[in-house]
Amino acid sequence: MSESLRTAHTFELGPAELLEVRTLLTDAFHGGFSDDDWDHSLGGIHALVHEDGELVAHGSVIQRRVIHDHRSLRIGYIEAVAVRADRRRRGLGGLVMETLERVIDGAYEFGALSASDDGAELYRARGWRLWEGPIAAQGLGRVIPLPDEEDSTYVRPAASRPLPAPGRKLIFDWRDGDVL
């Protein structure tokens, strides 16, 4: 099989390619990939792996703002990491993550993501650590605690930058689908 990796900003992906990505994500998440999830994955850098011309793996990193210790930090947030079911356990998820981690290293204070139970093993193996503090989102007019995210939010320092002090709250920017 001939494998190729391509990185592209969302604006470089045409309608047919975006549909191919969306289809992969819908299939990989067994229909549990919502319109809000799709929207969250757009506007950043995508890593796309093709084998013999077919899309078999994807992930994106987008910019988000996080308030930590009264500072607003620009972070790289990983979204929409998926590998086609018949191509899993062959290193393609790691290839996607390696590519997205290079983007984080070059452009952001640190990386963050929300892991599914299935994906957490990949992230831990790559050095991502579960955040050891409260998670919240800036809602419309107030900070909204997100206790359900506290056991699935992972962080990774960018190259040569330390992680923020653990144990303190991370307040993520508001976006549709995250808070009511």
Question: Domain of 117: which CATH number?
Answer: 3.40.630.30
Please check whether residue 179 lies inside any domain of the structure.
no
- For the segment 60-90, what is each residue's pLDDT rounded down to a tens digit? 999 999 999 999 999 999 999 999 999 999 9
Please check whether residue 23 lies inside any domain of the structure.
yes
- For the segment 44-67, what is each residue's pLDDT rounded down to a tens digit? 999 999 999 999 999 999 999 999
Sequence-separated contacts (24+) of 70-77 with Cβ below 8 Å: 73/109, 73/110, 73/164, 74/108, 74/109, 75/104, 75/108, 75/109, 75/110, 75/111, 75/112, 76/44, 76/100, 76/103, 76/104, 76/107, 76/108, 76/110, 76/111, 76/112, 76/158, 77/111, 77/112, 77/113
Please check whether residue 178 lies inside any domain of the structure.
no
Q: Domain tally for the chain?
A: 1
Please check whether residue 177 lies inside any domain of the structure.
no
Please check whether residue 68 lies inside any domain of the structure.
yes
Residue 177: pLDDT over 80: no
Residue 2: pLDDT over 90: no
Domain membership of residue 58 as a residue range = 3-172
Please check whether residue 51 lies inside any domain of the structure.
yes
Please check whether residue 153 lies inside any domain of the structure.
yes
pLDDT score of 178: 66
